[in-house]
Amino acid sequence: MGELLLRIGELASRAGVTTRTVDFYTGIGLLQPAGRTDAGYRLYPSSAVDLIATIRHLETHGVCLDDIAHALHGKPVDVARLLARLEADLTALRLAAESAGPDAQTILAILGARAHALITTAIEIAAASPLT
């Protein structure tokens, strides 16, 4: 159980960001040090490297840091139920699209493309961290 702990400089360098960014993320509660040294240096679990990668990934998809922080500290979610809901959504969307005019279809295209991008990202993240 000897978990590897990293100081801010090491974490930042492994994650490819600046210490300032790690500091900022820590300040807003996105990252939490596992502890402190006697001198007050923050010590992060090595899993924080992946977490930062995930955060950056989510950011590029327009998820605000606040939402990420909430989800990270919230209770776990029933993914099966989430998937079932999305399936039902799609069926309803198909119905709605059939009776929609050209302008509405353009809007559907924006939202649909976004949903596609989100799900693709979700798949990437899920595939990349099978045991995290």
Partner DNA sequence: TTGCTCCTCACGTCACGTGAGGTGGC
> Could you give the angle at which helices 47-60 and 8-15 cross, rounded to 10 degrees?
50
Instruction: Return d(Cα 26, Cα 109) in angstroms, integer.
Output: 37
Interface positions, 65-84, toward DNA (CB under 7 A): 65-66
Interface positions, 82-121, toward DNA (CB under 7 A): none
What's the DSSP call for residue 43? E
* Residue 41 binds DNA (CB under 7 A): yes
* Residue 7 binds DNA (CB under 7 A): yes
Q: Which is nearer to DNA, 5 or 93 (CB)?
A: 5
* Helix/strand/coil for 35: strand
| Residue 76 binds which of its own copies, DNA, none (CB < 5-8 A, kind-dependent) | its own copies
